[in-house]
Amino acid sequence: MGLPLLLPLLLLLLASLQAGRSTKCRSKLGYEVNQPEQLSAPEGGSVQIPFSFCHPWDLPSVLSVSISWRWKQYHGETIYSTTPPFIHKDFENRLSLNWKNGWSNGSLQISNLRREDKSLYFCRVHLTTRNHGKQEWQSIPGTNLAITPAPKKTTQGPTTAAPTDGLRVSGDKRSSGSWPLRTEAVVAVALFSAVLKIAILGGTVYLLLKRSKGLQTNARAPVRPGSSLPEAP
């Protein structure tokens, strides 16, 4: 086999070895778990606690990896575990882990947060290696989760317009209760005025007709016998 054929195989082997090694650790021990020191989320909401871990062993030498979470203190109760599957009763139907085997990072999501969830949370990594047996380590400071009050929901109720005096209406803003009353008042005033005018006009016509009939009766009265007309001077 010539050198031109061996070179690609060597490069492929080197790349696979680099990909098989986990991310470089900052810890002197060669393995660690990183988490944010503090997080906060509102009551009733949800929060994701991110984590990442590293170790000095090549992935081919790692037989299995599992993740678990503790809370309240470093040696506190376990609230979540991938192997064996477990969820604490206080977090039932509220925990989910965004992580797959082979990943070196992920996040734990806590939904429907309660005030009692305020605590410290610690991610713990469990490894079974080919030559070094079982290895376990976790974050020392953990993540301090604070629960803030739930935001108040503002509901806008119906607005009522202030009553206006008289019949004045500003612009197009009319109260649904006062506008019909003002219309009825205007109609009543108009009817009363019309009736009053008709009554006055009728009375005036009646008086004029009565006076006219009286004058006609006096002009047509007959002269009785024995009576004499007044002589002209």
pLDDT value for 139: 94
How far apart (Å, rounded) are the C-alpha atoms in residues 7 and 19?
18
Angle at 168 between CA 164 and CA 172, to 5 degrees: 90
110-160 tens-digit pLDDT: 999 999 999 999 999 999 988 889 999 999 999 999 999 998 877 665 555
What tokens does 174 get?
């009319």
Q: Which secondary-structure segment (H or E) carries 53?
A: strand 47-54
Amino acid in position 135:
Q
Average pLDDT, integer, range 82-111: 95
62-80 tens-digit pLDDT: 889 999 999 999 999 999 9
DSSP state letter for 104: S
What tokens does 26 get?
């900052």
pLDDT value for 59: 77
Is the predicted pLDDT of residue 180 greater than 70, yes or no? no
pLDDT value for 168: 43
Average pLDDT, integer, range 38-64: 91
CA-CA-CA-CA torsion for 220, 224, 226, 232, nearest 10 degrees? -10
Q: Which secondary-structure segment (H or E) carries 19?
A: helix 3-20
How far apart (Å, rounded) are the C-alpha atoms in residues 78 and 91?
11
Largest interatomic CA distance in the chain: 178
DSSP 167-201: T---TT---TTHHHHHHHHHHHHHHHHHHHHHHHH
Q: Is the pTM of this model over 0.85?
A: no
Say if residue 230 is preceded by a cis peptide, omega within 30 of 0: no
4-28 tens-digit pLDDT: 444 444 444 443 444 444 456 766 7
How far apart (Å, rounded) are the C-alpha atoms in residues 85 and 69?
12
Q: By C-alpha distance, which of 130, 31, 144, 47 is closest to 94?
A: 47
DSSP state letter for 21: B
